[in-house]
Structure 1
Amino acid sequence: MNDKETVILEEAIKLFSVKGFAGTSIQEISKESGIAKGTVYLHFQSKEQLIIAAYDYYFDQMFAQIEKVKEKKLEAREQFIEQITVFFESVIAHQEFIVLQANDYGASLNESLKKLALQKQREISEIFIEGIVNIYGPDIMSYRYDLATMLEGMLRSYMRLVFLGEQRLDLRHVVSYLVNRIDDLVKGLKESTEAPILTELQMKHVRQKVDTYKENPSEIIARNLEKIKNIVQQSTHPNESYLISLQVIEEELASKYPRAPVIEGMLSNFKTLKQAKGYVQEIKTVVKSDFT
C-alpha cells in the first residue's frame, strides 16, 4: 500500500466514524485527505471498495500491533493479557467506526465485506485460542475453543458497556480480571466430566466455511492487475511497454499452464511505475507461491 492510499483510508475511517457510510461522500474524503477526487477514484473505484479497504486496513493495523507484543518476550500470561489489551484498546479507540459501520452498513453488507469480516473474526479467534493454549498447556486442549469463545463473549460484554458510555474502565485491569476468570473456568473444567461443546470437528467445518470466502490466487491477481491497468490508463501518455506487459500477463494467465517466469518478467517492466509497486509485489507473491 502506498502513502496516498494510507492517507485516503485514514481520513475515510475518520469520516465514516462520524458520518457513517451513507453520509460520507468521496468528495468529502478527497477534501479531508487533500488528494484530488480523481486520484481517490484511481485507487478506489467506488465507495463500497473504499469501505472494504478501510475495514481491512483497520484490522491489519490492529493485528500488527498485537504481533509486536511478541517481540517483548514476555511470559505467556503477560503476553496474552497485553495482546488482548491492545485489541480492546484498538476497538475502543475506533468504536465509532466499528459501531456505525455495523449499524449503518451492516444490514446491507455486500458479499466482499461479509467475506472480509469472517476472515478477520477468524484471525481474532485464533489469537484467543493460541494465548489460552500457551498459558494452560495441553491439559485444556479439548476445551480451547470453548474457553476462547467464553473469553471473547465476556470481553465483548464489557466493550458494550464502554460503547454505551455507562462505564469508564481501566481496560488492562478488565482484561487481567477476565483472564483470571478463565483460571476459574479451567479449574472447573479439569474437575468436570462434561465434554466440550465445541469440538475439533465442528471448528474444522467452521474454518472450511470461512476459507471458502477467501480470494483465490486468480482473484488476487485480477484485482491487482486491474489496479495497475487503471494507473497506466490514467496517464496522459500511457507507456506502451506497460500496455504490452499487461496484455502478455493476461494472455499467460488465460493459458492452461501459466508460466511464472513469463509473468514475473513482465512484472519487472513496471519497476519504474512507483504507484504500482504494492500491486506488483502482491502479484509476485501469489505467482511465487502458487505457480512455481
Structure 2
Amino acid sequence: MNEKKQRIIEESMKLFAEKGYHATSIQEIAKRSEVSKGAFYLYFNSKEELTVGIFEYYTSMVMSKVEAIQIQQDKDPKTKLVEQIKMFFDLLTNHKEYVMMHFRDNLQVGNQIDALVIKLNKQGFRWMQTSINEIYGEKTDPYIVDISVQIDGLLQGYFKSIVMHDLHIDTGSLASFVVDRIDDLINGMLRSNATPQLTIDQLSYGFAEDAPLDTIQKLVADLLEEIDDLELSIDQKKQLKEAINMITNELAKEEKNHVILQGMLTQVATMPSLQPTSKKIADLLGVELAIIEKENEGDH
C-alpha cells in the first residue's frame, strides 16, 4: 500500500478514537497525516470511502496473518490456533482506536461496508471450521456452526473488555486460556451428545457454491501426505511443499489466480507419483497440466 495512504488510514483512526467519527473533519485528518486536503482526495473521495478503506486495510492484514500461521507445517493444529488467537489480541491491543471507532460511533456507511463485513464473517467461519476440523476431526462437523458462534462470542467478550477498560494483558497467556476453554466446550458437546442448534444450511453465506472447494482442499492435503512419503531430499520436499502452500493461499482468495494455480500444480506434477492427485485438482479447477500431457505423449 502507498505510504501516504497508509498514514492517512492510521492517523484518521486515531482521530476518530479521540474525537469521534462525525466530529472529525477531513481537514483535521489531512493535517494529522501531514498531507494536503487535495492529497487526501487523491486516495479517498469522502470520509465514508476512507472508512471502507480502513476496514479493508485491517481485515486484509488480519486474514493474511491468519493464513501465514495456518500454512506452517512444523506446528500442530492447536498450537496454530493459539498463535492465531494471540495475533488477534496483539492486533487489538496495538490498534484499539480501530475498535473504539466502531464502538463509539456505530458506523453505518452503506452497502459496500456491509458486503465487506459479510465477506469477513464468511472467511472467519471458514478459518474456524478448518481449525476445529484439524484439531478434533469430522466428529465436530454437526456442531461446527454452534462452535463457531460460541467462540465468536467468547472472543468478542474479551475484545470488548480489553478496549473498554484499556486492559494490558499477557496475550499469549490469554490465547492459551481461550483455546483451553474452547476445548472444554467442544468436548462437553461431544460427551453429552447434544443436539446441534444451528447448521451450515441455515447460514446465508452461499456455501453450497463452494462445495467443490472442500474436495480440492482435501486433495491438496492428500498431496502433502504423498510428499512426506516420497524418498526425496529435504530441499526437494521443501520446494514441493512451498508450491503446495502457494496453492493453499490462492484457494483461500475470493478471486483465484488460475495462472498461479496452474504453475504450482505443474511444478508438483513433475513428480510422477504426484501426478494422479495433481490431475484431479487441475480438473476440478479447470486448468491444464501441459507437462503431464507431454510426458504421457512421450510414453506412447
TM category, shorter: 0.5 to 0.7
Is 1:86 the counterpart of 2:84 in the alignment? no
How far 1:124 sits from its partner (Å)? Answer: 2.4
Is 1:161 the counterpart of 2:139 in the alignment? no
Q: Which runs of 5+ in 1 are unaligned?
A: 212-282, 287-292
How far 1:33 sits from its partner (Å)? Answer: 2.0
Q: What does residue 142 of structure 2 align with?
A: 142
2:58 and 2:116 map into 1 onto residues whose CA distance is: 12
Q: Check whether the contact 2:90–2:171 (CA below 8 A) recurs between aligned residues.
A: yes
Partner deviation per Cα, 1:63-116 (whole Å, 9 max, x = no partner): 22222223543111100110111112212322232122233143x442222222
Q: Check whether the contact 1:17–1:100 (CA below 8 A) recurs between aligned residues.
A: yes
How far 1:187 sits from its partner (Å)? Answer: 2.2
How far 1:167 sits from its partner (Å)? Answer: 5.0
SS, match of residue 117 in structure 1: helix
Q: Which one of the candidate residues 204, 207, 232 is aligned to 2:205?
A: 207
2:169 and 2:190 map into 1 onto residues whose CA distance is: 32
2:16 and 2:46 map into 1 onto residues whose CA distance is: 14
Judge which range, 9-18 or 142-151, deviates more.
9-18
Partner deviation per Cα, 1:252-292 (whole Å, 9 max, x = no partner): xxxxxxxxxxxxxxxxxxxxxxxxxxxxxxx9x79xxxxxx
SS, match of residue 137 in structure 2: helix
**1:60-209 to 2 correspondences below 5 Å:** 60-70=60-70, 72-73=72-73, 74-106=75-107, 108-165=108-165, 168-203=168-203, 206-208=204-206
Partner deviation per Cα, 1:124-174 (whole Å, 9 max, x = no partner): 232222211111111111112211211121122222222232754322222
How far 1:27 sits from its partner (Å)? Answer: 1.3
How far 1:50 sits from its partner (Å)? Answer: 0.8
Q: Which runs of 5+ in 2 are unaligned?
A: 210-254, 259-300
Q: What does residue 226 of structure 2 align with?
A: none
1:156 and 1:127 map into 2 onto residues whose CA distance is: 16
Label 1:103 to 1:160 Cα distance change in 2 as closer, same or farther (>3 A): same
Same amino acid, percent of matched pairs? 30
SS, match of residue 169 in structure 1: coil
How far 1:193 sits from its partner (Å)? Answer: 3.2
Q: Check whether the contact 1:21–1:105 (CA below 8 A) recurs between aligned residues.
A: no
How far 1:38 sits from its partner (Å)? Answer: 1.0
Q: What does residue 56 of structure 2 align with?
A: 56
Q: What does residue 10 of structure 1 align with?
A: 10
2:192 and 2:124 map into 1 onto residues whose CA distance is: 28
One-letter amino acid matched to 2:78: R
Q: Check whether the contact 1:70–1:79 (CA below 8 A) recurs between aligned residues.
A: yes
One-letter amino acid matched to 1:100: M
1:67 and 1:15 map into 2 onto residues whose CA distance is: 30
Q: What does residue 264 of structure 2 align with?
A: none
2:161 and 2:11 map into 1 onto residues whose CA distance is: 27
Q: Which runs of 4+ in 1 moved over 4 A?
A: none
2:32 and 2:17 map into 1 onto residues whose CA distance is: 14
Q: Check whether the contact 2:20–2:101 (CA below 8 A) recurs between aligned residues.
A: yes
Label 1:109 to 1:142 Cα distance change in 2 as closer, same or farther (>3 A): same
2:100 and 2:11 map into 1 onto residues whose CA distance is: 17
Q: Check whether the contact 1:26–1:37 (CA below 8 A) recurs between aligned residues.
A: yes
1:80 and 1:202 map into 2 onto residues whose CA distance is: 26
One-letter amino acid matched to 2:79: E
The CA RMSD over aligned residues, in Å, is: 2.9
How far 1:122 sits from its partner (Å)? Answer: 2.5
TM-score (ref. length: structure 2): 0.63
TM-score (ref. length: structure 1): 0.65
2:139 and 2:55 map into 1 onto residues whose CA distance is: 37
One-letter amino acid matched to 1:49: E
One-letter amino acid matched to 1:42: L
One-letter amino acid matched to 2:132: I
